[in-house]
Structure 1
Amino acid sequence: MKRRTKRVAFGLGFLAIAAIVLVVVLVITMLSPAPPPPKGPSGPTTQPEHRPEAQPADCPDVLVLSVPGTWESKANDDPYRPTANSRSLMLRITKALQGKFPQSRAEVYTVPYVAQFRNPTVLTDKQRDYNDSRAQGKRRASAKLAETHGHCPLTSYVLMGFSQGAVIVGDIASDIGNGRGPIPEQDADLVLGVGLIADGRRESGKQNDVAPSPDGVGAEITLAPFGSLVPGIEMTGPRPGGFGTLEERTYSICASGDLICDAPRVTNPLSAIGKLANAANNPVHAMYATTRYWSAGGSTATQWMFAWASRLIDEAPHPAHS
């Protein structure tokens, strides 16, 4: 009996020691660093297989596409030297970029479109309807992107817009990021960044909101429940799919109290449309080139956007040219 007891005790002791050893081995294994990954080929990375190694000599490294706001453009304006409105907010950014970079590095293209917003509450207002203006701006911007991408497959893009122009640029960015845009989904990585100032379809938190940023939403979202109740002015609501794969590369600036991008809830659509039509003149919406209603580290919205775009262009690839 004593020998059996000793054998049992010895067996249990051996199992206990074995268990301890096993635990120690497992702990050491888990805490040990993983083996280094196999080394890849040295040297610069190559282009994706569907892209050529070089592009035509007349192609820019980067296309900066800018869409001005309401009353800041005309359908026949010069896209490289716009003169429709010398006080256009976007000109503060695009002119500075043209002065900093040669056209071979950054082609700066300002989309010419009617840029109007007829106020249906004023019978004498003969401007083009918002629907027509917005649609023309999007068609022309999309055509320029598609044309450039077809001829210059290695060119990168910086997209930016203000007010109605921000709605247009945001809609195109949403299309690209969700695989339905003028630049194919497989090439969406060529879009380096999207910059929006006072976006009428803004949703807080659905992109990089540049602080300080209000929690409100764009006027087109606030008024979306009323659909196209007012002829010529369709409020389209949130963008389907948001910005998709471009969400992390999209930056939005909105000043608190700007009715275009920080709109309150409304119950009277006709009255709200009238306010929206005149919002381009409200002191908050018109002051993004100053620090009065919005600033980041002492910079105005236009200064912030210029610095952001400059950094993207500085860091953009330098594709080979044939």
Structure 2
Amino acid sequence: MKRLLTVLAVLVMVGVIGGGAVQYYRATTSDDVAAPPPPPPLESSAPAAPAQPDWCPRVEFIAAPGTWESSPEDDPLNPQANPNSFMLSITNPLREAYDPADVKVWTLPYTAQFKNINAQQEMSYDESRDEGTLRLVNELKFMGENCPQTKFVLSGFSQGAVIVGDVADLIGAGAGPVPAASVAGVAIVADGRRETGVGQNPGVPVDGVGAEIALLPVNSLIQAIVPGATMRGPRTNGFGELADRTFQICAPNDTICDAPYNISNGFDRALDLIQSDGVHAMYANNPNVIPGTTANAWVVDWAHRVIGAQ
């Protein structure tokens, strides 16, 4: 009898302990008990890409025509001010090759004149260049602020090359309307501020310099021939961060970009600025600028490669 009572007591104890364990298990797994907080998300070392509206192009190709090849009223998306404009031989093939929603081809509309002794009624070079520069900066600033992921490809000829080169020089120094990282490439043809060894030369070597550099020492003298055309000398920054992707194309003996350093005949050099220089006008079919091709064909092929890499 005593043994039976002992066994019963043990069974009761086991039941009590087991019941308590079940209650504890239920309590600890109840929905009323808060789950432990999830671990914090891992922080990415790369910042998120800025938002890009749907209307923004992947790439914008900007072209700046030369003197007498543009107009401030021209349509930048369908320029017709001068059907013989050298830059049209570059922009037309690009417009045909790409969906405008993907690659925007924009041509700088500006006065593009050059007041001189034979054309006193025209806008001065300084005023025309400043107008073009402001319009180019405004386009870049607008697109850069609204389309932060869009990449830019810049090109220009003659006065347009000076404008594009000046803006590229500021961008490369971190003082432009868009960061240098947003500019995929620059190609300028017949730049009046060209220096040997500044930027990249894809063509034959030339020994001279841009007219604005060659004529700087006689700037006051040439005002009688080209009033309001300030010769400013070389650019300050050598294109900075953009130097490795800025291409300078210049035909040998083009006195706009390949002027001799010797300015003993400064009066004649000033006259070169306003005369119809055969070499300066022949970039579309001159085979002696870039071996195996022409300047405009080279820029088109180069633009396709740069655009395709973005």
Specify the alignment match of 1:204 in structure 2.
196
Question: What is the identity percentage for the equivalent residue pairs of Structure 1 and Structure 2?
Answer: 46
Alignment-mate amino acid for residue 78 of structure 2: R
Q: Taking structure 1 as reference, are residues 174 and 228 closer, same or farther at Cα in structure 2, changes over 3 Å only?
A: farther
| Aligned partners of 2:64 and 2:160 also within 8 Å | yes
Q: Taking structure 1 as reference, are residues 152 and 228 closer, same or farther at Cα in structure 2, changes over 3 Å only?
A: farther
Quote the Cα distance in structure 2 between the aligned partners of 1:47 and 1:70. 48
Alignment-mate amino acid for residue 174 of structure 2: G
Mapping of residues 52-63 of structure 1, within 5 Å: 52=50, 54-63=51-60
CA deviations on 1:44-82 (whole Å, 9 max, x unpaired) are xx9963841x30000000011100001100111110111
Mapping of residues 1-322 of structure 1, within 5 Å: 49=47, 51-52=49-50, 54-120=51-117, 122=118, 125-183=120-178, 187-229=179-221, 230=223, 231-264=227-260, 265-278=262-275, 281-297=276-292, 299-316=293-310
Partner SS state of residue 248, structure 2: strand
| Aligned partners of 1:284 and 1:293 also within 8 Å | no
Quote the Cα distance in structure 2 between the aligned partners of 1:112 and 1:154. 24
Quote the Cα distance in structure 1 between the aligned partners of 2:193 and 2:102. 31
| Aligned partners of 1:65 and 1:110 also within 8 Å | yes
Quote the Cα distance in structure 2 between the aligned partners of 1:282 and 1:141. 27
Partner SS state of residue 208, structure 1: coil
Partner SS state of residue 204, structure 1: coil
Partner SS state of residue 175, structure 1: helix
Q: Deviation of residue 296 (structure 1)?
A: 2.5
| Aligned partners of 2:204 and 2:288 also within 8 Å | no
Quote the Cα distance in structure 2 between the aligned partners of 1:213 and 1:100. 31
Quote the Cα distance in structure 1 between the aligned partners of 2:162 and 2:278. 20
Partner SS state of residue 55, structure 1: coil
CA deviations on 1:71-126 (whole Å, 9 max, x unpaired) are 10011111011111001000011010000011122100000001111113x3x531
Runs of 4 or more, structure 1, over 4 Å off, are none
Quote the Cα distance in structure 2 between the aligned partners of 1:225 and 1:47. 53
Quick check: 218-227 or 74-83, which moved more? 218-227
Partner SS state of residue 136, structure 2: helix
Alignment-mate amino acid for residue 176 of structure 1: I
Quote the Cα distance in structure 2 between the aligned partners of 1:245 and 1:259. 28
Quote the Cα distance in structure 2 between the aligned partners of 1:255 and 1:48. 45
CA deviations on 1:220-251 (whole Å, 9 max, x unpaired) are 00011234551301001000011000000100
Partner SS state of residue 251, structure 1: strand
| Aligned partners of 1:287 and 1:293 also within 8 Å | no
TM-score by length of 2: 0.81
TM-score by length of 1: 0.78
Specify the alignment match of 1:22 in structure 2.
none
